[in-house]
Structure 1
Amino acid sequence: MSGSFAGVLFDLDGTLLDTARDLGSALNSLLAQMQRPLIAYADYRKIASDGAKGMLELGFGDELKTLDFQNLHQKFLDYYATHICVDTCYFDGVEKLLTELNYKSIPWGIVTNKPGDLTTQLLTYFPLLAQCHVVVSGDTLAERKPHPLPLLYAAQKLNLEVNQLCYVGDALRDIQAAQAANITSVIAQYGYIEHLDQLSDWQADLHISQASDLLVYC
């Protein structure tokens, strides 16, 4: 498959950027305010791709059903927005991969379920990411992953056919979206995946253990 992809689409959290610690800080700040037990990094890291909702479900468990979810959700987002890039960083190999894609003039984009305002804010801290050709956030369209629409929209913006693209992500919804869009699916095994031994069940086309491993296909 060497040289098979004319363009690449990426998930953001857990694929390009390691945002887990800043998301976890937002959760633990909220838990501390409400005098709840804090969540350890090892426990919240594997939930980070599920965003604010997943983090709140982890932190509050069944009790969340009895609380004002919308209020908690907003407080989480407010804290995160003001601490969005304290510990966030690239995953190993991401800068090498993106630099090489740029050098080869291979267009690439970001398709994330993260809200658009937070996506835009976060990308300002990473000039290399600002060079992407398209950004589709969770609220850009009427649908979000695992629906294929965000990927199909991104493909259209790149002016590429779906069979010319791959989509790299670390969550089942990413693989499902790619499969539904008929785009080659790539699992970022280095991301926020709890059970690596179950990845075969996702039936993805490719697996990479580091971001730069994708270069062999571009």
Structure 2
Amino acid sequence: MGITLSLADQIALELRADITGGRLLPGMALVEAELVKAYSVSRNTIREALHRLGQEGLTRYVRNKGVMVRRLELKEVRDLFVVRRTLELQAIAVGRPLSGEQSDRMQVAIEATTLAREREDWRSVATHSLGFHQQIVGLMCSPLFDEFFAQVIAQLRLVFCAAPDEQRFQSPWLERDREIYALLAQDDKPAAGEAMSLYLDDSERLSLALFTHSDGGRSPCIKTIPPLTR
């Protein structure tokens, strides 16, 4: 039997999905009165939902402004990639050969990314690519890891929002997702792990290039994006 979520939890999940989908961006205000009206719930319920998002590192309270979607700091971006390497590489190393259902889910994510790229909807490209990596972590068959990584993905989405040129930032990843999937489908774990490791090295480098130390890492700014390694 599944866990019954409270109303506040359900709202928090919907707001997190809006962040993951790129509909709520860093710096946007989450106004209590507007959310109360939108969800037809009490202020206490909204406050509880926002508190949960704060615990997940997705929002913060700003004096005289209220709750806002967070802008991540440089050190937090580094930490996100520590988590990604730990979970995604481990999932590839210990996961069993892909089941039909797991393969189908990965293909659905890749196909959705492909369609989004054809539409030049780069925000959706990022969202669907992250969905593919959620399926990678899902190879461990751990609901706890799945839930934790869903929070990580939402934070990563806030990082990607800092890219001054979404097309340039998102263009490289679809082919590499396809490569990783093909290797997993062949049950070639060593090659899939190596491809994922290189992927994460490049993704981290490009993500860190969006931030500088000039303001303590509190806000993104444009920097020259270094080339990818192959």
- Alignment TM-score > 0.5, same fold: no
Q: RCO higher in 1 or 2 (8 Å CA, sep ≥ 6)? A: 1
More strand by share: 1
TM-score, normalising length from structure 1?
0.25
TM-score, normalising length from structure 2?
0.24
